[in-house]
C-alpha cells in the first residue's frame, strides 16, 4: 500500500511521518534524555518490524517500506533528541536569597 503514485500510498506515508513527530513528543515526555532517544527510537521501530513480520507472515521486502521507516526513524530520533536537549540545556535558576533564617 505504500507508494508515491497512489493517493492512499501517499496518505499512509504522511501518517507514518506524523506518527514519527508525535512519537518524538513521546520521547520528550517519557525519556527526557537526549542520549537515549536514538536507542528508544530504534527499539520501537524494531518491535514494529517484528509485528509487521508476524502479522504478514513474511519479512517486509519492498523498498518503499524500508525507505519510509528509515526516514521516520531518523526524523523521530533527530526531533526527539533536539527537544530533549532543549529541556536539558535550560538554565538552572539560582537564587541568592537564603533558604532558611537560621
Residues in the chain: 102
Residue 6 belongs to a domain: no
Range of the domain at 59: 34-85
Residue 67 belongs to a domain: yes
- The stretches in the chain having pLDDT less than 50 are none
Residue 62 belongs to a domain: yes
Read off the pLDDT of residues 80-90 as tens digits, 9 standing for 90 and up. 999 999 988 88
Tracing cell 527537544 back to the chain, one arrives at 83
Total count of domains within the chain:
1
What was the pLDDT predicted at 9? 85
What was the pLDDT predicted at 97? 64
What was the pLDDT predicted at 93? 75
Q: How far apart are CA 93 and CA 70, in angstroms?
A: 39
Q: How far apart are CA 96 and CA 10, in angstroms?
A: 56
Residue 18 belongs to a domain: no
Residue 4 belongs to a domain: no
What was the pLDDT predicted at 101? 62
What was the pLDDT predicted at 8? 87
Amino acid at each position: 500500500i505504500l507508494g508515491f503514485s497512489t493517493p492512499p500510498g501517499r496518505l499512509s506515508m504522511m501518517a507514518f511521518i506524523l506518527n514519527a513527530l508525535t512519537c518524538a513528543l513521546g520521547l520528550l515526555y517519557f525519556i527526557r534524555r537526549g542520549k537515549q532517544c536514538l536507542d528508544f527510537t530504534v527499539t520501537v521501530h524494531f518491535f514494529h518490524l517484528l509485528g509487521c513480520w508476524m502479522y504478514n507472515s513474511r519479512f517486509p521486502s519492498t523498498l518503499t517500506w524500508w525507505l519510509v521507516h528509515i526516514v521516520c526513524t531518523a526524523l523521530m530520533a533527530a526531533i526527539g533528541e533536539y527537544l530533549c536537549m532543549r529541556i536539558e540545556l535550560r538554565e538552572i535558576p539560582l537564587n541568592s536569597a537564603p533558604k532558611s533564617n537560621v
